[in-house]
A and B are shown apart, each in its own frame.
Chain A
Amino acid sequence: MNAGTADLLEARDLARSYTVRRGLLGRPTLVRAVDGVSLTVARGETLGLVGESGCGKSTTARLVLGIEPTDTGSVTFDGGAMPRSGTAAWAHLRRRMQMVYQDPLAALDRRLTVGVQIAEPLDIHRIGTAAEREERVAAVMAEVGLQPHHAARHPQSLSGGQRQRAVIARALVTNPELLVCDEPISALDVSIQALVLNLLGDLQERLKMGMLFVSHDLRAVRQISQRVAVMYLGRIVEEGDPDAVLHDPAHPYTQALVSAIPHPGKTTTRVILQGDPPNPANRPTGCAFHPRCPVATPTCRTQAPELKPRRSDGRRVACHVAHGEAAAARAPASLETC
């Protein structure tokens, strides 16, 4: 298809707003869920996507797979433009790109057994004979730690983690080239998390699968990703090597995020974010983080910082202070801790 160097997935300037109307005649307001996100995923690479709840991660995930149309921006998959959702070309591509949805119970059909649902992508794309499909389903179930007898169960009679594994198995059954995971391990105990993370890592190596890994679990993100992007209110504010971002966060939001990671057996000092969580229907001017930013400067209120490499080490970050373009109002050391 394309030269081997091209990225498997390339998204440029994605934006998506929702019109929310209160009542049938109410005044419509615009919720800007995703507001100019660009990202790439290469074959065999994982991009971790983290960020505040409600900042648009799930929306981004749906946009890059074409499950939802973008308002502006474009998506390229394996060198070709992403076809419109619902078209035959798109349906055909779905075999090569799968999604693990955030809420397993809502993503599964409660009238069908999970065995049937895991086999569904194989049936839709007519892959293999009936016997081969059965064998493939059994194999993928075992890989995610489900037992054979779970296949005959309906989603509501499985535990939360068993359901989540069913959703993962369904996404993996066609050996996709691109996997978009939205909180794929949130309902799993650490031992099974380890199993699934190892499995995903192996698949990446073996099949050169590319992954967009949305998660709040920063340990898991570090474990599986080669790059991590941090989102805040519909935009990416920092991007870089996971170790670098987690150990030396450049953006003040990332700093707060990292400081809040809980550690078993320890009580940590964390930066508690002051101020109200952001409202995507009413985006603050300038840097969207400025009402809560402990080091905000007057510039921040008026000028939106651009996501660009930092001069010192090339870390991509969108913050005036991190770029040294504005002096911090207060030293970061005076971050309020508790």
Chain B
Amino acid sequence: MLHYLLSRLLRAAVSIIMVVTFVFVVLRMSGDPAMVIMGADAPPEAIDAFRKAWGLDQPLWIQYFSFFEAIFSGELGRSMRDGRDVLSVVLERVPSTLALTVPAFLVNLVVGVPAGVYAALHRNSLIDRCVMVMAVTGFAVPSFILAMLLVLIFSVNLGWLPSAGQDSWLNAILPIATMGFGGAALLARFTRSAMLEVLGQPYIRTASAKGLPWSAVVWRHALQNAAIPTITIIGFMLGGLVAGAVVVESVFSWPGVGRLLVISVANRDLGVVQAIVLMIAITMVAANMIVDVLYGLVDPRMHGQARPARR
């Protein structure tokens, strides 16, 4: 088990380094921050001074290493815009984002999993078809379109809920609904197919042949097995939550990390962007690790082994 955890940790570290490197390179290739921030018509001396101040005059590889040095010393630099500490700029936005993502994730689980299980157990029933239609819609419609639709219906037409800002808890409802629905749809679809797959397995027939009532067959034998593939998808969703918040926060002008990212990219505020990307990468990798550990708990075949490559 220890060996297993250590190897996971190593892999996680490698993934994070790769993501950060990628971002580092892309950001530096796609335009000169000094020009963007100071304005193209700023005097050349001013731009040079800016470059010097931020270390942008150094060769790329030195920038790269000092960047990593900074990360490991917890010193992520200052925002190029207002000179504040990057970490505190980002961290002060985190509670807002959590206020959306945590409830949205709960909605994903509480709606998605039971809907999928129910649909599988009542295959081809009316409810199954409804779930499938919703699931396909939720999967196919991009979240910003869904967000607009919700705004159109509940804010513009009905006037029930506010469409932007962060004035009261009412503001959170539409963003949470947007993220919650999309994720629940995805999860319902996966849970349903995982469950159908399991219900057709010979050991389910064995359980029935023992004389177990159908409900016990489902609870004791089917759910745990169906959980194995479902956990993977839940892990993906967990990792994707912050990324999903980027779109939704922008549409609803919700002052969270996602919106900060959009603004910072537009401004070429390298320090902030890097910090946020690092954070997103860490959540994704952490989600992946949680999945691996859960896998080990749910599937005894995994004790002491790597996750199998499932076809």
Contacts and interface: CB of A to CB of B under 8 A. Distances in A.
Judge A-B direct contact (beta carbons within 8 Å). Answer: yes
A21 B197 CA distance: 29
Given A105-B202, A110-B200, A19 B1 contact: no
A320 B280 CA distance: 68
A90 B311 CA distance: 19
Interface string B198-216: 0011100000000000000
By size class, the interface of chain B is under 10
B200 A156 contact: yes
Contacts of A111: 197
Nearest to B1: A24
Interface in B275-295: none
B303 A21 contact: yes
B304 interface: yes
Nearest to B304: A19
B201 A110 contact: yes
A205 interface: no
A202 interface: no
Contacts of B304: 19
By size class, the interface of chain A is under 10
Interface string A70-110: 00000000000000000000000000000000000100011
B311 A109 contact: yes
Interface in A36-70: none
A262 B271 CA distance: 80
Interface string B180-209: 000000000000000001001110000000
A110 B202 CA distance: 10
Nearest to B202: A105
A156 B202 contact: yes
Nearest to A86: B309
* 5 cross-chain pairs, A with B, having the tightest CB-CB distances, nearest first: A105-B202, A156-B200, A24-B1, A109-B311, A110-B200
Interface of B: 1, 197, 200-202, 303-304, 311
11 contacts: A19-B304, A21-B303, A24-B1, A105-B202, A109-B311, A110-B197, A110-B200, A110-B201, A111-B197, A156-B200, A156-B202
